[in-house]
Chain A
């Protein structure tokens, strides 16, 4: 294992990635099954995350599918946040700053795309 990254941090990153992947796989499978079952051939665009979640709670196939994709897209961002917090807790400010810059770039991309 890398010398400077203690095992608990690796463990947290591992579980963050695994949890995100598992949650998105479940949502994508259910969403696709509902879409095919309900006869939806296209997924409509939802204006806000709240609307998307409300539709998904009503077992709307396209909404569940879109939510699954968003969970998948957010997973690597969560991994960056976990590492940022982990390195900050260890007072490893250099790499916490590096993680902060990466997070900033992802927020920039989010605002350029969706904002």
Chain B
């Protein structure tokens, strides 16, 4: 794709739209960005995935810097799980290089369906803390947080929230799958990781979302080099999209105060299913 002034503007708008919607819907950009690039702007699937991976690094870096300073991101847990996500991402990135674009589109469409389901149910990366009040696991006293446990200050919860981490092997397994999806399809995978960290590892939702986001940057980089090495990363296209996504995310966090309702999420869940159907059709037609 040649970057003419018009194309640069289109890519900037596409990135901004993704950033705004991502902030409103509480999901990372990849799930929304890739259909826009592939169906809307006719970018080949592998190049769209590479673009998405870089934009995911940008948004993750921006959000993680805030979460780390606030103390909501659990850096020890995040780094431990990054072993699994990085391995998964490398495997995914290598696998993507062996798949033809239509197969990759079909796989992406299949992943969109559970994402839409989770969005319909309201379980996204930024599910409200009110929906899932933070709890300390009652099996152990709150003073014993273990090597991976942590605490953070949460005014909404009325003070300090302390937790320890359970079922680490399950967390590692889910992280490997999420990393694999990231390397293969260019999505952050937070929509799967956050519920898993919360429900299986008993990490409070706020900390789970912050830790998941903290991990995404390293996960995405683990596969980004593979796409870069295969010349599937288009610098100018990616630059325009990344700048758009960063602008859109900032705008989206403001718009979110007015449009963050359940109806909007359900509307986009239906839209995601429609996109999935179209991508499956394209994959079958091209097969």
8 A Cβ contacts from B136-180 to A: 145, 147, 149-153
On chain A, the residues within 8 Å of B234 by CB distance are 43
Q: How far apart are B218's CB and chain A's nearest CB, in angstroms?
A: 5
CA gap between A20 and B176 in the complex, in Å: 26
Measured between beta carbons, the chain B residues less than 8 angstroms from A32 are 3, 8, 236, 239-240, 243
Q: Is the CB of A43 within 8 A of B61?
A: no
B230 surroundings in chain A (CB, below 8 A)? 113
| Residues in A whose Cβ lies below 8 Å from that of B153 | 1
Q: Are B82 and A102 in contact (CB under 8 A)?
A: yes
In contact, A73 and B145 (Cβ under 8 angstroms) = no
| Whole-angstrom distance between the Cβ of B39 and the nearest chain A Cβ | 23
- Within the complex, which residue of A18, A21, A62, A102 is in contact with B58, where a contact is CB–CB below 8 Å? A21
Query: Which of B85-93, B126-134, B253-261 is near enough to bind chain A?
Result: B85-93
Known interface pairs A76-B57, A109-B221; A41-B3 also in contact (CB < 8 Å)? yes
* Also in contact, A113 and B229, with CB within 8 A (given A10-B75, A11-B69, A102-B218): yes
| Complex Cα spacing A1 to B217, Å | 21
Q: How many residues of chain A have a CB within 8 Å of chain B?
A: 55
8 Å CB interface, A5-62 against B: 5, 9-11, 13-15, 17-18, 20-21, 24-25, 28-29, 31-32, 35-36, 40-43, 45, 62
Interface string of B1-16 (1 = CB under 8 A from A): 0111100100000000
* B68 CB-CB contact with A under 8 Å: yes
Known: A35-B3, A35-B236, A73-B221. A113 touches B228 (CB 8 A): yes
- Residue of B147, B221, B233 with most partner-chain A CB within 10 A: B221
Given the interface pairs A35-B236, A101-B83, A105-B87, the reply to whether A10 lies near B57 with Cβ below 8 Å is no
Over the window 78-98 of chain A, the binary record of Cβ atoms lying under 8 Å from chain B Cβ atoms (1 yes, 0 no) is: 011001000000000011001
Secondary structure class of chain B's binding surface, majority of residues: helix
Which residues of chain A are near B74, meaning CB under 8 Å?
2
The answer to whether A105 and B83 touch across the interface, beta carbons within 8 angstroms, is yes
Residue of A nearest to B9 (CB): A36
> When each residue 45-80 of chain B gets 1 if its CB lies under 8 Å from chain A and 0 otherwise, what string results?
000000000100110111011101111001110011
CB atoms of A42 and B222 under 8 A apart: no
Cα-based distance from A23 to B76 in the complex (angstroms): 27
Residues of B within 8 A of A79 (CB): 217-218
Q: Bits for B236-260, please: 1 = Cβ < 8 Å to A, else 0.
A: 1011101100100000000000000
Q: Which A residues lie at the B interface, using CB under 8 A?
A: 1-5, 9-11, 13-15, 17-18, 20-21, 24-25, 28-29, 31-32, 35-36, 40-43, 45, 62, 65-66, 68-69, 72-73, 75-77, 79-80, 83, 94-95, 98-99, 101-102, 105-106, 108-110, 112-114
Q: List 13 A-B contacts (CB under 8 A).
A: A3-B151, A13-B65, A13-B68, A15-B65, A35-B3, A40-B236, A41-B3, A73-B228, A75-B217, A76-B221, A105-B83, A113-B230, A114-B228
